[in-house]
Amino acid sequence: MKLKRIAVGHGTLERYGDCIQYAEANFMESTLITQQDLKQRAQSMAFSKYKQIKREVHKKEAQRRLNWFLSIVKAKKVATVWLARARAHLNLKYERD
């Protein structure tokens, strides 16, 4: 099936007056749109949307992993600081006695 792109002007609908609304299609003349072209365009749009969703999922997963890693690093840092304070406190306690 082949659809021909044509230019539609207002001249054909002037006899009906202003009561009917119509749109003007400004397609390039002498170019054909085949059914394969339409399917290919639809598949291309669907695939680009799929890739966009996939990128967003990977980005969220990478951010989740980074947050997990940072939480472990921060927890280790806090534990090290607390351990150092506890050791210093114990050393002071034993030195007093």
pTM across the whole model: 0.47
d(CA 26, CA 11): 14
Task: pLDDT tens for the chain, 97 residues: list them.
Answer: 455 555 545 455 455 455 444 444 445 555 667 788 888 888 999 999 999 999 999 999 999 999 999 999 999 999 999 999 999 988 887 777 6
Q: Count Cβ atoms within 10 A of the Cβ of residue 33 and give its class: 0-12 exposed, 13-18 middle, 19 or more buried.
A: middle
Cα-to-chain-centroid distance, residue 59: 9
